[in-house]
């Protein structure tokens, strides 16, 4: 299927218009017209090869929403005309312990990334959602309620599930203190979900001007992380702190805020290693953990939670020609709170 999209042709290059073909529909495949694709900071990391060598040409994009246009003969999960979402992976081994329990992101053989990866054959590159069409196996897509604003749904497929999953795993609930470090694409979804789950929610931000937005998004407290006294006043208070920051960060001040048996969970993926002093963990039986996106089962659960609670991402919808500027502004923490590309502009 002919697809018009945008690709980076080499590392750190600006994205340019790029035409390519999606595979023919297989028995369990669903074809969709993409309506919106979110710009995740991971797209920037991978174009820039922050995490190591990437595959070029690269069509980024793993926050995809659209409408089903065709289904293969054996598809039972979707109908033509239905809304559909695709996130950070499009296949997995389907048989390992983690795949069987719906946590494909932890597949023992590695999941198949939506882009900058290879299909299960190991040689066919995957192309992501910066384009006007997509083909996906029905088992790797989710239903999207008609009640939700579609542009605001796109970021749920990565930013949303990446915060929903650890909040649920570590049991964020009423009576708990939850902190979110970094009010960007991931962070603003973390605030919405933590507040909706009933937790007392704090934003830790290095951008003081985001204070009012934090409150509007549902946060109960805003801490300017450059204010050391304000940080110190919260020592030993938090059950769970999730770090969404895309840049190198000194974690030491945040460990101090975690209470006995609490956890500091990393979802941001900067390049440099973190420093952890043994006392950071030992002194209060604290955990340092990480979390990767979320499986299909939990992504559907999150979508349903969003429909019930009227939750979507706060987005700035842009045309494909704005991608380079969107990358620049994301790197400068100047995004409220996710850029979403209108796929009609590809």
Choose, by CB under 6 A, the member of 335, 340, 341, 343 that binds ligand NAP.
Answer: 335
Helix (H, G, I), strand (E, B) or coil at 307: helix
- Nearer to ligand NAP (CB atom), residue 3 or residue 291: 291
* Residue in 247, 203, 240, 242 with CA at minimum distance from that of residue 225: 203
CA separation (Å) from 13 to 23, 44, 252, 324? 26, 11, 35, 9
- Nearer to ligand NAP (CB atom), residue 25 or residue 269: 269
- Nearer to ligand NAP (CB atom), residue 75 or residue 240: 240
Classify residue 59 by its DSSP letter: -
Is there binding between residue 156 and ligand NAP (CB under 6 A)? Answer: no
SS (H, E, C) 64-106: EEEEEEEECCCCCCCCCCCEEEECCEEECCCCCHHHHCCCHHH
Choose, by CB under 6 A, the member of 288, 333, 336, 345 that binds ligand NAP.
Answer: 333
Is there binding between residue 42 and ligand NAP (CB under 6 A)? Answer: yes
* Binding-site partner at residue 93 among ligand NAP, Zn ion, none, CB < 5 to 8 Å by type: Zn ion
Place of tokens 């002093």: 277
Residues within the interface to Zn ion (CB under 5 A): 40, 42, 92-93, 96, 99, 107, 158
Q: Which stretch binds ligand NAP (CB under 6 A): 75-83, 111-119, 124-132, 155-163?
A: 155-163
Distance between CA 204 and CA 194 in Å, rounded? 14
- Nearer to ligand NAP (CB atom), residue 200 or residue 225: 225
Contact 203, 178 (CB under 8 A): no
Helix (H, G, I), strand (E, B) or coil at 254: helix
Query: In degrees rounded to 5, what are phi and psi of residue 123?
Result: -130, -25
- Nearer to ligand NAP (CB atom), residue 25 or residue 215: 215
Choose, by CB under 6 A, the member of 15, 34, 36, 41 that binds ligand NAP.
Answer: 41
Q: CA-CA-CA-CA torsion for 324, 6, 34, 296, nearest 10 degrees?
A: -80
85 sits in the region (left: phi over 0; alpha: psi -120 to 50; else beta) called: beta
Choose, by CB under 6 A, the member of 13, 292, 317, 318 that binds ligand NAP.
Answer: 292
* Binding-site partner at residue 182 among Zn ion, ligand NAP, none, CB < 5 to 8 Å by type: ligand NAP
Site for ligand NAP, rule CB under 6 A: 40-42, 45, 158-159, 162, 182-187, 205-207, 210, 244-247, 249, 267-270, 291-293, 330, 333, 335
């Amino acid at each position: 299927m002919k697809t018009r999209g945008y690709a980076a042709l080499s590392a750190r290059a600006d994205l340019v218009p790029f035409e390519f073909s999606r595979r023919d529909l297989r028995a369990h495949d669903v074809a969709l017209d993409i309506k919106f694709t979110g710009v995740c900071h991971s797209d920037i990391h991978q174009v820039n090869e922050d995490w190591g060598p990437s595959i070029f040409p690269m069509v980024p994009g793993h926050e995809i929403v659209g409408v089903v246009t065709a289904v293969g003969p054996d598809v039972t999960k979707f109908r033509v005309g239905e809304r559909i979402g695709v996130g950070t992976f499009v296949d997995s081994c389907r048989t390992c312990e983690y795949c069987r329990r719906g946590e494909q992101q932890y597949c023992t053989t590695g999941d198949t990334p939506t882009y900058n990866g290879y299909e299960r054959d190991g040689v066919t590159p995957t192309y992501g959602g910066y384009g006007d069409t997509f083909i996906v196996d029905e088992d790797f897509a989710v239903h999207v309620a008609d009640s939700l604003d579609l542009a605001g749904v796109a970021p749920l497929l990565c930013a949303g599930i990446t915060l929903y999953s650890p909040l649920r795993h570590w049991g964020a609930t009423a009576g708990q203190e939850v902190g979110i470090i970094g009010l960007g694409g991931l962070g603003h979804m973390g605030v919405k979900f933590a507040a909706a789950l009933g937790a007392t929610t704090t934003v830790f931000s290095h951008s003081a001007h985001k204070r009012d937005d934090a409150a509007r998004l549902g946060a109960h407290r805003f801490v300017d992380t450059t204010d050391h006294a304000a940080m110190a006043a919260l020592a030993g208070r938090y059950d769970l702190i999730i770090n969404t920051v895309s840049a190198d960060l000194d974690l030491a001040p945040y460990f101090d805020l975690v209470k006995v048996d609490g956890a500091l969970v990393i979802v941001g993926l900067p390049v440099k290693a973190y420093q952890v002093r043994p006392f950071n963990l030992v002194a209060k039986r604290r955990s340092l953990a990480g979390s990767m996106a979320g499986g299909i089962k939990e992504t559907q659960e999150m979508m349903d939670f969003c429909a019930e609670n009227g939750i979507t991402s706060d987005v700035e919808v842009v045309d494909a020609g704005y991608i380079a500027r969107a990358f620049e502004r994301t790197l400068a923490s100047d995004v409220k709170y996710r850029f979403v590309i209108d796929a009609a502009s590809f």
